[in-house]
């Protein structure tokens, strides 16, 4: 049966599970989408196989075809536009592509389950959670309510939801994001599937919750011998989970092999670049991030031959021909003609570090921005009668930012980090407290003074798709502040200045005639940066400025921000949830939890010797792209869920989840005190 497969199953995995054949064999599939812009070849010649109980990660950037491949296996491609033109998908020897729809429906949910990225929208809001867990049992197993009920309770316990009997009757909105993802897993597990396909299962979740879900999925897969396909862009997750890794680029498989081999001996330049482009939590910050230059090719008109060749530093003329997938060692394949050169060490796996390093400590007496006692309560009306409750988004926050400094602000969603940024930008009025910029109190400033100050505080937003006005061209977007603030003499000077600004952020001047939707995500983020720079700011709030971007693009933007900082002496408040990115870019770091500051320290101090128990757990929870470290360690999971900011715990807000908490922690609010010089923490236990 397997003789026709172009890629034989990996030896290691085959030995571990000595079953007759693989559970799933994808053989040379091609997927096309018919669009107005022509035919998009989303997947080309993809082959791989999965054995029972094996965990395989599919890694790639957006547009690499990883999600499309998963949908093809489930036969869930959009019916009219997308189709598999070629190839076979064998599940237990049965070709799924030629099954009648009726039989395919029986396989979905029973033998193959799927878990989606967005737990907020993948559960039906008007049906109880219990109903949704019992539904596949009734459909695929023919159970009635009396039989399905106990099984649902069992499943809820299995995925770690306590008080299962009561919670079965609740609706999805009564569950948090992490709990909903657990429910999704319970639904997936309901019929004892042989294969679970998880498409970015933890991307929408916070670091601590992500760690819980990852552990749960790994544990369940091992216990029940379920094969797992995890689709992700996060290399840390791959390292924690996977037995085997498949790397995709531009619709093709470029490398596959055991996780340990992929991470330690990558044999494709794209994989190598990907591994280098991620900021690392487990290593001290070197110099600038190494990036993969350029953009992924358009799938409507891909380059001939190796798709990666245009971005590859080691490309040869021969790369204009289709590279074959060759075996380098047992189970490890690379689609690069220079794989042997890489293996022989003739192509450097890490480029020499560039000279431009970051000055870590800024000793400047006068802070550029100083925040004292900043508090923001939102009034929430509940119920028809409008009972008003205060949502405590930010409570008594104090910190300073010095000229030329990058201050990282990390925390989970709902911790108030974005609100702090919005308060500084005066997009929200603070309930109490003081924000001084260059010595001027922004709260007490008259409108004219505020307007003058405002230009020097700018912002870069997370979502490059919604932060640019879709009705304005790039030239108008970047040029507007020049006209409004009279920063240029005339129209011709404005055009020159716009071209100059675009060049500063690495874009061609021709782009100014385009509209935002004609640009890629990375290009849009550059336009957003150019817009901020047009104001000639001194201080920029970067609100999750790189978290919506692909790994290779993320590295480019981080380097750009650092370049600009050096060139113009900018200060940044870098708000993010990704600890590794914050570590890379920040000089000092503030950790927030539920509206309060937990810890402030120098970057290196904080990551080396965190003081606050929350910081410690946060650092533990974050996955690191190294399978040896990941597999060796036992993460100390943060138990429980984030309390509601409508009714925060008394005393220390972290006391309900803290492993060190004692009775006094729920009595007194710990003050932020200087434990060591320059290292502040708010905890009674240290």
Partner 1 sequence: MAVATPAVAEAASRTRNPVLAFGRAQPLGAVSLVAIVAMMFGGIFAELVAPYDPLAIDFGSMLAGPSIEHWFGTDAFGRDILSRVIYGARTALVIGFTSSFIGSTAGAIVGTASAYFGGRLDSVIQRFVDILLSFPIIVLALVVVAVLGRTLVLGIDVNLIFAIAVPILPKVARVVRAAALSVRAMPYIDAARAAGYSHLRIIVRHMAPNLVAPYIIMLTAYIAQAILLEASLSFLGLGVTEPTPAWGLMLSGNASDFFREAPWMILFPGIAISVAVFAFNLFGDAMRDWLDPKFKL
Residue ranges that bind partner 1, judged by CB under 8 A = 36-37, 293-295, 422, 425-427, 450-451, 454-455, 457-459, 461-463, 466-472, 480-481, 484, 506-508, 510-511, 513-515, 517-518, 520, 522-523, 526, 528, 531, 535, 556
Q: What burial letters (b/e) apply to 186-222, b meaning 16+ CB within 10 Å? A: bbbbbbebbbbbbbbbbebbbbbbbbbbbbbbbebbe
Name the nearest CA neighbour of 507 among 525, 534, 494.
525
Q: Which residues contact 264 (CB under 8 A, 6 or more apart)?
A: none
499 vs 658, which CB is nearer to partner 1? 499
Nearer to partner 1, 425 or 675 (CB): 425
DSSP string, 391-457: EEEEEEEEEEE-TT-EEEEE--TTSSHHHHHHHHTTSS--SEEEEEETTEETTT--HHHHHHHHTTE
Q: How far is the CB of 65 from partner 1 (least distance, A)?
A: 21
Continuous segment of H or E residues that includes residue 559 = helix 551-568
- Cβ distance to partner 1 smaller for residue 68 or 468: 468
Q: Smallest distance, Å, CB 459 to partner 1? A: 5
The minimum distance between CB 633 and partner 1, in angstroms, equals 38
**Judged by CB, which is closer to partner 1: 5, or 557?**
557
Q: Which residues in 599-610 are b (16+ Cβ under 10 Å) and which e?
A: bbbbbbbbbeeb
Q: Which is nearer to partner 1, 150 or 444 (CB)?
A: 444
Q: Which residues contact 511 (CB under 8 A, 6 or more apart)?
A: 474, 502, 519, 523, 527
Task: Tell me which residue of 512, 487, 502, 418 sits closest to 459, measured CA to CA.
Answer: 418
Owner of token pair 């498409």 = 199
Shortest CB 298 distance to partner 1, Å: 8
Cβ neighbours of residue 531 under 8 Å, at least 6 residues apart?
468, 477, 478, 480, 481
Smallest separation (angstroms) from partner 1 to the CB of 428: 10
- 220 vs 519, beta carbon nearer partner 1: 519
CA angle 446, 452, 456 (to 5 degrees): 130
* Spatial separation of the C-alpha atoms in residues 670 and 681, rounded to whole Å: 9
Query: In the complex with partner 1, which residue's Cβ is closer, 58 or 548?
Result: 548
Output the smallest distance, CB 290 to partner 1, in A.
15
Nearest distance from C-beta of residue 495 to partner 1, angstroms = 16
Separation between Cα atoms, residue 452 and residue 446, nearest integer Å: 10
Q: Which is nearer to partner 1, 321 or 451 (CB)?
A: 451
DSSP letters of 468-493? Answer: S-TTS-HHHHHHHHHHHTT-SSSHHH
User: Of 174 and 466, which CB lies nearer to partner 1 in the complex structure?
Assistant: 466
Alpha-carbon separation of residue 642 from 409, 411, 614, 656 (angstroms): 18, 11, 12, 9
Give the span between the Cα atoms of 149 and 165, in whole angstroms.
9
The edge-to-edge listing of strands for the beta sheet with 227-232 is 112-115, 195-199, 227-232, 55-59, 244-249, 252-258, 332-334, 326-329
CB atoms within 10 A of CB 366: 10
Whichever of 21 and 509 has its CB closer to partner 1, that residue is 509
- Comparing CB distances to partner 1, the nearer of 213 and 295 is 295
- Which residues have C-beta within 8 Å of that of residue 585, sequence separation ≥ 6? 279, 406, 408, 558, 561, 562, 572, 574
Identify the sign of the CA torsion 282, 214, 613, 597.
Answer: positive
Which tokens belong to 484?
């409004």
For the beta sheet containing 539-543, the strands, ordered from the edge strand earlier in sequence to the opposite edge, are 457-460, 539-543, 571-576, 406-410, 588-593, 596-602, 679-681, 673-676
The DSSP symbol for 254 reads E
Is 79 or 471 the residue whose CB approaches partner 1 more closely?
Answer: 471
Q: Could you tell me the smallest distance in angstroms from the CB atom of residue 565 to partner 1? A: 18
* Nearer Cβ to partner 1 (47/418): 418
Task: Kindly state the smallest distance separating residue 484's Cβ from partner 1, in Å.
Answer: 6
C-alpha–C-alpha distance, residues 640 and 325, integer Å: 46
What 3-state DSSP class applies to 211?
helix
Do 595 and 395 touch, CB atoms closer than 8 A?
Answer: yes
How, if at all, do strands 227-232 and 195-199 pair?
Answer: parallel
CB 301, min distance to partner 1, A:
9
**Minimum CB–partner distance for residue 549 and partner 1 (Å):** 12
| Shortest Cβ 249–partner 1 spacing (Å) | 18
Nearer to partner 1, 37 or 93 (CB): 37
* Smallest gap from residue 37 Cβ to partner 1 (A): 6
| Residue 633 φ/ψ, nearest 5 degrees | -90, 155
CB of 506 to partner 1, least distance (A): 3
Minimum CB separation of residue 167 from partner 1 in Å reads 32
In the complex, the smallest distance separating the C-beta of residue 462 from partner 1, rounded to whole angstroms, is 8
In the complex, least distance from residue 418 CB atom to partner 1, rounded to whole angstroms: 11
State both tokens at 196: 């679970």
């Amino acid at each position: 049966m397997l003789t026709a497969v172009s890629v034989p199953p990996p030896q290691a995995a085959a030995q571990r599970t000595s079953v007759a054949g693989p559970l799933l064999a994808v053989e040379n599939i091609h997927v096309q989408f018919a669009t107005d812009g022509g035919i998009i070849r989303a997947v080309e010649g993809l082959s791989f196989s999965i054995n029972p109980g094996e965990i395989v990660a599919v890694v790639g950037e957006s547009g690499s075809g990883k999600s499309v491949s998963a949908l093809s296996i489930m036969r869930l491609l959009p019916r009219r536009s997308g189709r598999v033109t070629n190839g076979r998908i064998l599940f237990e020897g049965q070709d799924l592509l030629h099954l009648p729809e009726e039989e395919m429906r029986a396989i979905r949910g029973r033998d193959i389950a799927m878990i989606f990225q967005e737990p907020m929208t993948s559960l039906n809001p008007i049906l109880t959670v219990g109903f949704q867990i019992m539904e596949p049992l009734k459909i695929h197993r023919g159970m009635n309510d009396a039989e399905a009920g106990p099984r649902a309770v069992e499943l809820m316990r299995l995925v770690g939801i306590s008080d299962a009997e009561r919670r079965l009757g609740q609706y999805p909105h009564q569950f948090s994001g992490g709990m909903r993802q657990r429910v999704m897993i319970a639904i997936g597990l309901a019929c004892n599937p042989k294969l679970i396909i998880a498409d970015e299962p933890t991307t929408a979740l916070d670091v601590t919750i992500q760690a819980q879900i990852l552990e749960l999925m790994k544990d369940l897969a091992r216990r029940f011998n379920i094969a797992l396909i995890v689709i992700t862009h996060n290399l840390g997750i791959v390292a924690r989970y996977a037995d085997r890794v498949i790397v995709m680029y531009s619709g093709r498989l470029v490398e596959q092999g055991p996780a340990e081999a992929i991470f330690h001996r990558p044999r494709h330049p794209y994989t190598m670049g990907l591994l280098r482009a991620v900021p690392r939590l487990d290593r001290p910050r070197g110099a600038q991030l190494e990036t993969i230059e350029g953009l992924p090719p358009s799938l409507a008109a891909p380059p001939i031959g190796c798709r990666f060749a245009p971005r590859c530093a080691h490309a040869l003329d021969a790369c204009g021909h289709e590279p074959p997938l060759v075996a380098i060692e047992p189970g490890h394949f690379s689609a690069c003609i220079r794989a042997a050169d890489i293996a022989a060490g003739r192509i450097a796996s890490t480029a020499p570090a560039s000279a431009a390093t970051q000055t870590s400590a800024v000793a400047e007496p006068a802070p550029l921005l100083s925040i004292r006692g900043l508090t923001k309560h939102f009034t929430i009306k509940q119920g028809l009668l409008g009972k008003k409750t205060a949502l405590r988004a930010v409570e008594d926050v104090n910190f300073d930012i010095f000229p030329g400094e990058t201050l990282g602000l990390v925390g989970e969603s709902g911790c108030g980090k974005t609100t702090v940024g919005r308060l500084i930008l005066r997009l929200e009025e603070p309930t109490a407290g003081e924000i001084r910029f260059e010595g001027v109190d922004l709260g007490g400033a008259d409108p004219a003074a505020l307007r003058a100050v405002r230009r020097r505080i700018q912002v870069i937003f997370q979502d490059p798709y919604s932060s640019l006005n879709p009705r304005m061209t790039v030239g108008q977007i970047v040029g507007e502040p020049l006209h409004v603030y009279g920063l240029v003499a005339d129209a011709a000077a404005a055009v020159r200045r716009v071209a100059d600004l675009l060049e500063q952020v690495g874009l061609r001047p021709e782009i100014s005639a385009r509209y935002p939707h004609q640009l890629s995500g990375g290009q849009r983020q550059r336009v957003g940066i150019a817009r901020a720079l047009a104001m000639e700011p001194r201080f920029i709030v970067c609100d999750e400025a790189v978290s919506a971007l692909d790994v290779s693009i993320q590295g480019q933007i981080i380097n750009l921000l650092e370049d600009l900082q050096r060139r113009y002496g900018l200060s940044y408040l870098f708000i993010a949830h990704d600890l590794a990115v914050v570590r890379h870019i920040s000089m000092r770091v503030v950790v927030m939890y539920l509206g309060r500051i937990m810890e402030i320290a120098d970057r290196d101090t904080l990551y080396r010797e965190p003081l606050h128990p929350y910081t410690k757990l946060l650092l533990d929870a974050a996955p690191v792209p190294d399978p040896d470290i990941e597999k060796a360690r036992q993460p100390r999971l943060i138990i429980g869920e984030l309390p509601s900011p409508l009714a925060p715990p008394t005393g220390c807000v972290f006391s309900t989840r803290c492993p060190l908490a004692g009775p006094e922690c729920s009595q007194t609010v710990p003050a932020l005190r200087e434990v060591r010089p320059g290292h502040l923490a708010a905890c009674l236990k240290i």
